[in-house]
């Protein structure tokens, strides 16, 4: 059955959902996005995604086309129309269609292009990888310098996923100046004893919505949180490691560049964090 897709105010069958070849998102990757998980038909951490969307748009001098309430209504309508129980809502806002190609930004009053669609992922929170853990390789971080803005420039992260695939593992961690920045589409952490270590927020990494929640829950659960950079060598000698993202939640990492982390099996801290995260987020879902 065809999905219903939202395009600039209309709910359309996906075959009819179209944007212009002159759209700045298509020609210049001039757009931002958000991905919000849906569990049990409800949106996870919706307020967090709205806040980051507003920030990404503001950093690129783009006007937010909707209020948070409007965004919520559109998300809910799409979830209902597509009968999503578990899955994701993808949202993209581009600088619009100026009718031609030009490096200069079009006038600020050009309407943006707004597209949202759903992805059904039955059993999203029961991913078997949470039991086995994932394996990663490290690759150089050659992305641009404003990784804090959630833009649709995802070519290098895609290449990073392909490098991982080619190496027979699950994902890549980016390394810059000898220090881990983040994963291709997630934030990266190590665990030492009762302490969770993850890179501090800056323009070097995306300010993960899941990261913020995980660090809050970790502190509430009397775990120590240290926001600082770490090397691949330090990660290899950590007790546990994990990643976080809106669609993977909290996912253990058991191997980096062929070296087992801790016992090489999923430990105790990460599954506990995952459970707390999912429990709390399901409770607060809208």
User: Of the two residues 36 and 97, which places its CB atom closer to ligand PLP in the complex?
Assistant: 36
According to DSSP, residue 54 is labeled H
**150 assigned to active site:** yes
According to DSSP, residue 15 is labeled G
User: Of the two residues 4 and 56, which places its CB atom closer to ligand PLP in the complex?
Assistant: 56
Q: Which helix (H) or strand (E) holds 155?
A: helix 155-166
Q: Which helix (H) or strand (E) holds 11?
A: strand 10-13
User: Of the two residues 243 and 269, which places its CB atom closer to ligand PLP in the complex?
Assistant: 243
Nearest Cα to 231, choosing from 208, 256, 214?
Answer: 256
Per-residue burial over 66-91, b if 16 or more Cβ lie within 10 Å, else e, is beeeebbebbbebbeebebebbbbbb
User: What does residue 231 show for φ and ψ, rounded to 5 degrees?
Assistant: -95, 170
Helix ranges, 228-268 (H): 232-236
What is the smallest separation between the CB atom of 75 and ligand PLP, expressed in angstroms? 15
Number of Cβ atoms within 10 Å of the Cβ of 210? 23
According to DSSP, residue 186 is labeled B
Tokens for 245, please give them.
Answer: 């993202």
Residue 73 and residue 79: Cα distance in Å, rounded?
10
Catalytic residue among 51, 150, 166, 283: 150
- The sign of the dihedral angle between the CA atoms of 33, 37, 42, 44 is negative
Strands 87-94 and 31-39: antiparallel
User: Of the two residues 134 and 246, which places its CB atom closer to ligand PLP in the complex?
Assistant: 246
What is the smallest separation between the CB atom of 254 and ligand PLP, expressed in angstroms? 20
User: Of the two residues 93 and 96, which places its CB atom closer to ligand PLP in the complex?
Assistant: 93
Which residues lie near ligand PLP (CB under 6 A)?
182, 185-187, 206, 208-211, 244-246
Which residues are part of the catalytic machinery?
150
């Amino acid at each position: 059955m065809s999905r219903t897709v939202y395009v600039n105010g209309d709910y359309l069958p996906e075959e009819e959902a179209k944007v212009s070849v002159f759209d700045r998102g298509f020609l210049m990757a001039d757009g931002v996005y958000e991905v919000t998980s849906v569990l049990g038909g409800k949106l996870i951490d919706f307020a967090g995604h709205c806040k980051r969307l507003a920030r990404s748009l503001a950093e690129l001098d783009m006007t937010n086309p909707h209020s948070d309430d409007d965004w919520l209504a559109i998300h809910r309508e799409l979830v209902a129309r597509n009968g999503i129980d578990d899955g994701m809502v993808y949202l993209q806002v581009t600088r619009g269609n100026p009718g031609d190609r030009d490096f200069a930004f079009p006038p600020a009053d050009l309407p943006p292009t707004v597209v949202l669609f759903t992805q059904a992922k039955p059993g999203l929170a029961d991913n078997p990888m949470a039991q086995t853990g994932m394996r990663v390789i490290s690759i150089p971080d050659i992305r641009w310098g404003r990784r804090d803005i959630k833009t649709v420039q995802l070519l290098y992260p895609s290449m990073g996923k392909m490098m991982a695939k080619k190496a027979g593992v699950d994902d890549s961690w980016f390394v810059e100046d000898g220090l881990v920045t983040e994963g291709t589409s997630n934030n990266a952490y190590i665990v030492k004893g009762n302490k969770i270590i993850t890179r501090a927020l800056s323009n070097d990494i995306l300010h993960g919505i899941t990261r913020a929640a995980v660090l809050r829950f970790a502190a509430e659960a009397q775990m120590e949180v240290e926001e600082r950079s770490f090397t691949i060598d330090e990660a290899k000698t950590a007790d546990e490691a994990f990643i976080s993202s809106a669609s993977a939640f909290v996912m253990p990492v058991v191997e980096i560049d062929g070296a087992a982390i801790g016992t090489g099996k999923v430990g105790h801290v990460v599954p506990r964090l995952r459970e707390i995260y999912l429990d709390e987020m399901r409770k607060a879902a809208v």
